[in-house]
């Protein structure tokens, strides 16, 4: 059931404690229709930051049903949400609805948002077509071609790393930009960012000389981009040179807007962290704290902690982390994100500090800010087990592994948690294993699969043209059945969970093509395939000459695999 926020209420003339006045029907009707949509717009902006696009669409549709057509400001915020969440198709559908005769209308902000979305989605041809329609005056709403539209599309192209199209855009609409003030610092800042995104940070530094020749003074974003380029190149000395030059320029022109900001210092912190230069990192952090006009936000604090951990200073990282928690008591915007907790847990898990990891694990849910994804929860459980294992607490690690198996049902072996589980299994042996080890003692893994496969006729395949209602009892007994065509060739597998329409043909519900192996494939390879891909049946086909015949000759099922296993109780004599 859709719910409307109580903040969305019509602004009606108040009649409480006010003498009665003559009311004109026309005026009362107009005021009764005027809505205060600012709370809805603020709500959309908040949900956009959380990337909850489905919730935005649901609330906007509910508002439409209650109040009718919404205004352009609200719909522009919805378009921004679509672009931010990467759903450009939905943004285009909403744009067409707004541009229709009965819609709320479009403006230059609408077009700027759509152009940004098309640029981010690399749908450049559509973006240029829209720009041309604006230039020709045939676009809906008759917007004027302005430099802001060109800059918006240029920024999207550069963020996508498409410098060729970006230069083409500048060549096409360069005259318009020249008419509105000539080459600007903003263009060079965007081009520098584009070179960095495309993997050529050296070219960004070269653009500075061209700016100076044209008489353009670099601003703070210019220096921030140049410092970032130097960090990408690994030239930290040049980055510090630009930092010094920023300060000198600010003092020379008495311009506070030229002083380094939190972005400048955060970029340098990341650079020194990657270079594992602990001394320079500590000096930069001290300079940040001594700067009275600089507010260290959550992003900067997180970068400092990550950099200290990369430099191996876990005590320093713990001190900064404690400072974040202390400051977050007065400012909720400083509450750490789950990422920071995970970084700390990884570092202390490697050291085997189980107590610290457990404390961080317990405070992750109540003290962190933002959404804790399923992947983060899984990694947190795995890190807790790894910390217990590295601390030598095998029983504690076994208990955590047991809860992980019950909760998540699986552990990826390629992760650190998977490797920790393997180590734990090796240390405990089969007697205490919870993963129920089995051995294929009845077969030799190197033998071909045709030695143990079921003949294809024994699987009793079904014709694909049959309707499900005619053979539905078959799927009460079997989980998967092969499907064949009129010539007897296996064309797919139909699983019990896919049988959802009694009147449909089997071929319309089957999974095609079926997983196939040749008769010469080893048993071990087929077993790996069944376990890794979770196949319930694998079709065996006969190799004929340089290719395969179109007729299946056998099958291997998961039930066969289970019958080949020897449980761990029969393996204890081997230990």
Predicted confidence (pLDDT) per residue in 389-413, tens digit? 999 999 899 899 889 888 887 777 7
CA 311 to chain centre: 27
> For helices 354-367 and 374-390, what crossing angle results, to 10°?
160
Structure confidence at residue 29 (pLDDT): 41
- pLDDT in the model for residue 430: 61
At residue 568, the pLDDT reads: 47
Which residues are CB-contacts of 342 (< 8 A; sequence separation ≥ 6)?
A: 376, 379, 380, 383
Residues of the chain with pLDDT under 70: 1-35, 178-183, 430-439, 543-550, 566-575
In this prediction the pTM is 0.65
Specify the pLDDT at position 437.
57
Continuous segment of H or E residues that includes residue 537 = strand 537-544
Q: For each of the domains in the chain, give its residue range(s) and CATH number, in order of start.
A: 38-182 (1.25.40.10), 449-564 (3.10.580.10)
Q: Tell me the C-alpha to C-alpha distance, in Å, between residue 199 and each of 155, 160, 161, 208, 569.
A: 17, 12, 9, 17, 57
* Tokens standing for residue 253: 């022109």
What pLDDT, in 10s, does the model give residues 47-100?
999 889 999 999 999 998 888 888 999 999 999 999 999 899 999 999 999 999
The pLDDT score that the predictor gives to residue 6 is: 40
Q: Of 368, 369, 404, 366, whose CA–CA distance to 386 is shortest?
A: 404
What are the backbone angles phi and psi of residue 35, rounded to the nearest 5°?
-115, 150
At residue 432, the pLDDT reads: 67
């Amino acid at each position: 059931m859709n719910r409307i926020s109580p903040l969305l209420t019509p602004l009606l003339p108040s009649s409480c404690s006010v003498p009665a006045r003559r009311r004109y029907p026309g005026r009362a009707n107009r005021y009764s229709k005027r809505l205060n949509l600012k709370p809805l717009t603020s709500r959309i902006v908040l949900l956009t930051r959380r990337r909850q696009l489905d919730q935005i669409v649901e609330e906007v549709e509910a508002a439409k049903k209650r109040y009718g057509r919404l205004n352009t400001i609200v719909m522009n915020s919805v378009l921004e949400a679509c672009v931010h969440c990467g759903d450009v198709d939905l943004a285009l559908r909403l744009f067409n609805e707004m541009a229709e005769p009965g819609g709320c209308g479009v403006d230059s902000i609408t077009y700027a948002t759509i152009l940004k979305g098309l640029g981010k989605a690399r749908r450049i041809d559509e973006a240029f077509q829209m720009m041309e329609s604006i230039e020709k005056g045939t676009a809906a709403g008759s917007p004027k071609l302005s430099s802001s539209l060109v800059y918006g599309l240029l920024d999207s192209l550069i963020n996508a790393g498409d410098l060729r199209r970006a230069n083409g855009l500048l060549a096409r609409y360069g005259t318009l930009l020249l008419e509105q003030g000539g080459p600007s610092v903003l263009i060079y800042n965007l081009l520098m960012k584009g070179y960095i995104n495309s993997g050529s940070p050296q070219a960004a530094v070269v653009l500075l000389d061209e700016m100076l020749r044209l008489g353009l003074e670099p601003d703070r974003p210019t220096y921030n981009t140049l410092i970032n380029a130097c960090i990408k190149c690994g030239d930290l000395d040049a980055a510090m040179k630009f930092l010094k030059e920023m300060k000198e320029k600010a003092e020379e022109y008495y311009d506070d807007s030229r002083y380094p900001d939190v972005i400048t210092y955060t970029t340098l912190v990341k650079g020194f962290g990657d270079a594992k230069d602990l001394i320079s990192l500590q000096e930069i952090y001290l300079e940040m704290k001594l700067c009275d006009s600089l507010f260290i936000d959550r992003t900067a604090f997180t970068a400092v902690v990550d950099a200290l951990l990369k430099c191996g200073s876990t005590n320093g990282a713990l001190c900064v982390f404690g400072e974040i928690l202390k400051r977050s008591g007065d400012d909720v915007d400083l509450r750490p994100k789950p990422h920071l907790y995970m970084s700390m847990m990884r570092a202390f898990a490697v050291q085997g500090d189980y107590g610290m990891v457990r404390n961080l694990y317990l405070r992750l849910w109540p003290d962190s800010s933002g959404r804790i994804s399923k992947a983060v929860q899984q990694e947190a459980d795995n890190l807790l087990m790894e910390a217990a294992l590295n601390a030598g607490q095998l029983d504690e690690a076994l208990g955590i592994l047991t809860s992980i198996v019950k909760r998540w049902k699986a552990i990826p072996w390629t992760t650190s948690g998977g490797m920790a589980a393997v180590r734990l299994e090796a240390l405990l042996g089969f007697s205490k294993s919870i993963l129920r080890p089995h051995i294929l003692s009845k077969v030799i893994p190197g033998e071909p699969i045709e030695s143990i496969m079921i003949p294809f006729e024994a699987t009793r395949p079904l014709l694909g043209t049959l309707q499900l209602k005619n053979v539905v009892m078959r799927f009460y007994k079997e989980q998967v059945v092969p499907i064949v065509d009129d010539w007897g060739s296996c064309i797919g597998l139909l699983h019990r969970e896919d049988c959802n329409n009694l009147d449909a043909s089997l071929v319309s519900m089957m999974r095609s093509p079926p997983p196939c192996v040749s008769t010469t494939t080893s048993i071990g390879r087929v077993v790996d395939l069944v376990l890794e891909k979770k196949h319930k049946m694998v079709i065996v086909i006969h190799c004929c000459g340089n290719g395969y015949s179109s007729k299946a000759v056998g099958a291997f099922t998961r039930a066969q695999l289970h019958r080949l296993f020897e449980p761990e109780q029969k393996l204890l004599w081997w230990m």
